[in-house]
Amino acid sequence: MSSDHHDFSPAERAGLYRAIFERRDVRSQFLPDPVPEDVLARLLQAAHHAPSVGFMQPWDFLLIESRDTRRAVKALFDGANDRAARHYAGERGERYRRLKLEGILDSPLNLCITCDRNRGGPHVLGRDSMFDTDLFSTCLAVQNLWLAARAEGLGVGWVSIVDPDALAGVLALPAGVYPLAYLCLGYVSEFLPEPELAAAGWRQRLPLTGLLRGDTWHTEAPEAVLQAVAGLSPQDASR
Ligand SMILES: Cc1cc2nc3c(=O)[nH]c(=O)nc-3n(C[C@H](O)[C@H](O)[C@H](O)COP(=O)(O)O)c2cc1C
């Protein structure tokens, strides 16, 4: 039952939080099964309903099925990943090279969500002080799609280890259109219970209480909030 605070019913809330907590970045578990058009349409519509600065809607969605195009993107990834690996020495370097960081050819569909930096003309409402709010808006479209995909049982993996100019070239993007998110999409054998990087021992989730502050960076967060957060489990959040 909803209360008069306009909140969702407990079951609806539980569904939303479940999508949030069980969403994963997927690289290793893709199945080849095609994504039905009606499901894909719902994901794209969810993305298109993201908030955007000045209602700019700077996104376009490239649906990339061609294996030739995907092979070209995979080659860009391989080069960029080799360069990235050089940042890590010794055991950390070996561990980095063992990580699987893309599912470009394993997933049945790739999707590039772009940001047209000129959409809406030179003065978009709300963008005067923070010019990059068009990029932020496009990230929110990605997140909408990612959560909707989880609810539909589809995995999404974000591949950012590619040179954006080279990627724009492969995808024939016009000048001023930025390839913000290159995504791999498909059904999966499983959703891992924790981020793949955490499972691989690369990096763990930070405790939320350590990230809360008060009125300024140097002020402590209210004690009651700290206690409430410390008492949460992800499941509790849906109650
Ligand atoms: C902007 C952005 C770029 C990312 N780029 C990559 C990438 O290139 N390769 C990869 O394997 N994962 C990439 N990820 C996924 C993150 O590694 C992942 O979100 C994080 O480890 C937490 O795991 P989770 O998404 O399963 O909760 C990216 C995520 C974001 C938000």
Query: Each residue of 172-198: pLDDT tens digit?
Result: 999 999 999 999 999 999 999 999 999
Does any ligand 1 atom lie closer than 6 A to the CB of residue 81? no
Q: Which atom of ligand 1 is nearest to the CA of 142?
A: 31
pLDDT at 162 (0 to 100): 98
Does any ligand 1 atom lie closer than 6 A to the CB of residue 160? yes
Does any ligand 1 atom lie closer than 6 A to the CB of residue 77? no
Residue 53 and residue 133 in contact, taking contact as beta carbons nearer than 8 Å: yes
CB crowding 70-90: b at 16 or more within 10 Å, else e: bebbbebbeebbeeeeeeeee
Q: Which atom of ligand 1 is nearest to the CA of 198?
A: 21
Average pLDDT over residues 146-175: 98
Please report which confidence band the pLDDT of residue 33 belongs to, taking 50, 70 and 90 as the band edges.
Answer: very high
CA-CA distance, 238 to 14, in Å (whole number)?
Answer: 5
Tokens of 126: 């709300």
Q: What is the DSSP string of 34-91?
A: PPPHHHHHHHHHHHHTS--GGG---EEEEEE--HHHHHHHHHHHHHHHHHHHTTS-HH
CA-CA distance, 139 to 121, in Å (whole number)?
Answer: 20
H helix and E strand count, the chain: 8, 4
Sequence spans of domains, the chain: 25-203, 206-239
CA-CA distance, 92 to 200, in Å (whole number)?
Answer: 12
Q: Class for domain 25-203, per CATH?
A: alpha beta
Helix axes 10-22, 133-151, angle to 10 degrees: 110
Compute how many other C-beta atoms are within 10 angstroms of the C-beta atom of residue 62.
16
CA-CA distance, 54 to 56, in Å (whole number)?
Answer: 5
Q: What is the pLDDT of residues 115-136, one digit of tens each?
A: 999 999 989 999 999 999 999 9
Does any ligand 1 atom lie closer than 6 A to the CB of residue 195? yes
Output the residue whose Cα is nearest ligand 1's atom 3: 160
CA-CA distance, 148 to 16, in Å (whole number)?
Answer: 9
Does any ligand 1 atom lie closer than 6 A to the CB of residue 25? yes
Q: What is the dihedral of CA 13, 41, 112, 151, to 10 degrees?
A: 30
Q: Which atom of ligand 1 is nearest to the CA of 160?
A: 8
Q: Which atom of ligand 1 is nearest to the CA of 194?
A: 26
Residue 200 gets which letter from DSSP? T
Compute how many other C-beta atoms are within 10 angstroms of the C-beta atom of residue 176.
10
Does any ligand 1 atom lie closer than 6 A to the CB of residue 142? no
Q: What is the pLDDT of residues 85-117, one digit of tens each?
A: 999 999 999 999 999 999 999 999 999 999 999
Tokens of 146: 């990612």
Does any ligand 1 atom lie closer than 6 A to the CB of residue 197? yes
pLDDT at 235 (0 to 100): 57
Compute how many other C-beta atoms are within 10 angstroms of the C-beta atom of residue 22.
14
